[in-house]
Structure 1
Amino acid sequence: MTQHRLAILDDYQGIAEDYAPWSSLEQRGVAVTVLRHHLRPESAVVAALADFDIIIAMRERTPFPRFVIEQLPRLKLLVTTGAANASIDLQAAADHGVTVCGTAGSPTAAPELTWALLLTFARHISAEETTLRAGGWQQTVGFELSGKTLGVVGLGKIGQRIAAYGRAFGMDVLAWSQNLTDETAAAAGARKVTKDELFQKSDVVSLHLRLSARSEGTVGERELRLLGPDGVLVNTARGPLVNQQALVTALHEGWIRGAALDVFDQEPLPSGHPLLETPRTLLTPHLGYVTQESYRAFFRGAFEDVTAFLDGTPVRTLAP
């Protein structure tokens, strides 16, 4: 007899069932439903999930603000892949008796994607492949990273790896964040500077801050103008770290050389979004954590979270 209904959300590639033995939960009275399509807006989320008491969310693809949690009275367990999720209102979950659990992840997936984007942008790889397949040959001239200056905004675990990649490619590395110390920067092989100095002196700026009320809009018109016509902005962190309108204007008017973006203010990126028609861009659909290794950690961890909850001993719980 079914005692629990479990929903796995936003399985874009249809692979969730390949990474954990979800079917085995049937023996414990759990009926599993996998949703491949993205639910939007919030009313659609509520309508689709009203009958589920266990939900597994893939990163921040589907937000769970207070309004949504309040409209899901049957919800008892909400699992997020990864160790944190800014799109889940943890206080609202606690207020409504919902247990929230996380998982481990891959420390290298996002940094490697960041560097892949930068190299692809610098050498026009995407454009040149398109030209080659169409019968053409050598249409662009790229630039080298060696000898350039890399500015890392946010020197946490990911930012530290990016700093190391920069040094390995012969770049001078600058770093800034609101709480960064000289000692932490030096330990990562970077030099702490002011925010203005970082944008003014860097050839490439890569963003690696967590999104919060304090970090939203960290990059706006001032920073983009300081970066200048030869500067490149790379964002694989979160879209709202950058003022979108300022970025679109900067790219159209040539304030900066270009932007390599894996994250956006709306995801999935809707048809007609201005960035889809903006020049000087390299865009990918939030692939930072989309690797076999990440998914293995995510889904196996989520499966463990569910079984532990069913046993009455939740693990990796997230508190407000």
Structure 2
Amino acid sequence: MTNTKPFQSVVVPDDEPIVLQTTDLVDRVYALGEDIKWNTTRPGTDLEIIELIKDSEAVINIRSSVQFNRNVLEKCPNLKIISVWGTGVNHIDLKAAEELGIWVSNTPAYGAPYIAEQALALGLAVGRQVVSNHNRVVAGGWTEGYVSEFFNKTLGVIGTGPIGQRMITLGKAIGMNVVAWTFNPTESRAKEYGVTFVDLNDLLSNSDVISLHIPATDQSIDFINTKEFQQMKDTCILINTARGDVVNESALITALENNEILGAGLDVFSIEPLPKDHPLTKINNVVLSPHVGGMAKTATMRGLEMTIENIEAFTLGQPVNIVAQGTRTLN
């Protein structure tokens, strides 16, 4: 019998918590391959992920906590494409993928407005002490001390991709003075975004709120470290909805414990899910959320649809949203 589907084997190795299988996109997944394998746990070791995908031709990657390193990719001789749900791809060895001929695609900008909303919400929650005030009222208490102001304060946005651009808009909307830093500042971009680009040291020293919107790359790992925290005001709030590795967590914990900054709002971590005994869970001046910035229903559905569309485009010989240029093709 002739194989009428593009792939023999398609694997979803990490649909946990289950999200893709609960959507109307399931039929489109089954249309991609003769053998569809769903895994509803998160493989945590090379051996576990290799066992799941070693015979696959296409992988639909849901969670960025699953690592596709060179060792894993080398054990997948038939793998043609990894389609990632999300923008960040620092969990994949892109150089190894290209050398092995494996294509990698992502879903850029699908959740930008919603991730920016999460960033603003986290900043407000820290500054207005939403969690501690809620707990105080529930315990029978009432007002204690002041909360932070945002109106007419300075918001420093680091990274001006689609999420950073939206954060600039939201900051202005609540009356903040917004400045920004990017790896590639130009006058035309400053005019387009309606923002002033400043030196990084100036941004760190003068901002009341700093929001991170840069991908995790070789340039940006530990981008915020001890030196950067020492430059910040002791009233500064740090927001990270980008990637956990952009901030050195040990330096962050020290800064929080020593009140070098006012607090932090975090949606991303170097280890995900965050262990329940992690030091960040024991610090009062931090608000944590479980990497849900892009989990608005509209964003989730669009992102997952793009993930499937990327594979469908590959099967038509028209790959899109490519972050690693492969050479392997359909047989």
Question: So what's the TM-score if we normalise by structure 1?
Answer: 0.89
1:92 paired to 2:92: no
1:160 paired to 2:165: yes
Instruction: Provide the rounded CA distance (Å) in 2 between the counterparts of 1:164 and 1:244.
Output: 28
C-alpha displacement of 1:28: 6.2
Q: Give deviations 1:222-241, integer Å, cap 9, x for gaps.
A: 22122121111111111121
C-alpha displacement of 1:255: 0.6
C-alpha displacement of 1:142: 1.8
Summarize the Cα distance change of 1:219–1:28 in structure 2 as closer, same or farther, 3 Å threshold: closer
1:196 paired to 2:201: yes
Summarize the Cα distance change of 1:134–1:22 in structure 2 as closer, same or farther, 3 Å threshold: same
Structure 1 gap segments, 5+ residues each? none
1:10 paired to 2:19: no
Structure with greater contact order relative to length (CA < 8 Å, sep ≥ 6): 2
Instruction: Provide the rounded CA distance (Å) in 2 between the counterparts of 1:24 and 1:37.
Output: 22
Instruction: Provide the rounded CA distance (Å) in 2 between the counterparts of 1:222 and 1:252.
Output: 16
Instruction: Provide the rounded CA distance (Å) in 1 between the counterparts of 2:29 and 2:241.
Output: 35
C-alpha displacement of 1:117: 0.8
Q: Give deviations 1:2-56, integer Å, cap 9, x for gaps.
A: 9633222432332212334324554665333332322112232223333433211
Task: Give 1:295's match in structure 2, choosing from 293, 296, 300.
Answer: 300
- Worse overlay, 185-194 or 245-254: 185-194
C-alpha displacement of 1:151: 1.0
Give the equivalent residue in structure 1 for 2:80.
Answer: 76
Instruction: Provide the rounded CA distance (Å) in 1 between the counterparts of 2:88 and 2:45.
Output: 23
Instruction: Provide the rounded CA distance (Å) in 2 between the counterparts of 1:209 and 1:28.
Output: 33
Give the equivalent residue in structure 1 for 2:235.
Answer: 230
C-alpha displacement of 1:256: 0.7
Give the equivalent residue in structure 1 for 2:71.
Answer: 67
Contact 1:78 1:98 in 2 (8 A): yes
Q: Give deviations 1:130-159, integer Å, cap 9, x for gaps.
A: 333444444563222102111111122222
Moved over 6 A (4+): none
C-alpha displacement of 1:178: 3.4
Matches within 5 A, 1:23-42: 23=27, 26=30, 29-42=33-46
Q: Which amino acid aligns with 2:73?
A: I
Summarize the Cα distance change of 1:307–1:214 in structure 2 as closer, same or farther, 3 Å threshold: closer
Give the equivalent residue in structure 2 for 1:218.
Answer: 223
What is the aligned-residue identity percentage?
Answer: 32
Instruction: Provide the rounded CA distance (Å) in 1 between the counterparts of 2:165 and 2:284.
Output: 30
Instruction: Provide the rounded CA distance (Å) in 2 between the counterparts of 1:225 and 1:143.
Output: 20
C-alpha displacement of 1:204: 0.7
C-alpha displacement of 1:221: 1.7
Contact 1:109 1:288 in 2 (8 A): yes
C-alpha displacement of 1:312: 5.4
Instruction: Provide the rounded CA distance (Å) in 2 between the counterparts of 1:176 and 1:306.
Output: 34
Contact 2:84 2:105 in 1 (8 A): yes
Q: Give deviations 1:151-174, integer Å, cap 9, x for gaps.
A: 111122222221121111111112
Question: So what's the TM-score if we normalise by structure 2?
Answer: 0.86
Contact 1:185 1:191 in 2 (8 A): yes
Q: CA RMSD in A?
A: 2.5
Instruction: Provide the rounded CA distance (Å) in 1 between the counterparts of 2:124 and 2:264.
Output: 12
Summarize the Cα distance change of 1:128–1:36 in structure 2 as closer, same or farther, 3 Å threshold: farther
Structure 2 gap segments, 5+ residues each? 326-331
Summarize the Cα distance change of 1:310–1:132 in structure 2 as closer, same or farther, 3 Å threshold: same
Instruction: Provide the rounded CA distance (Å) in 2 between the counterparts of 1:266 and 1:206.
Output: 20
Summarize the Cα distance change of 1:34–1:141 in structure 2 as closer, same or farther, 3 Å threshold: farther
Contact 1:22 1:32 in 2 (8 A): no
C-alpha displacement of 1:293: 1.7
Q: Give deviations 1:226-271, integer Å, cap 9, x for gaps.
A: 2121111111111121122111111111111111111111122124
Give the equivalent residue in structure 1 for 2:119.
Answer: 114
Contact 2:154 2:178 in 1 (8 A): yes
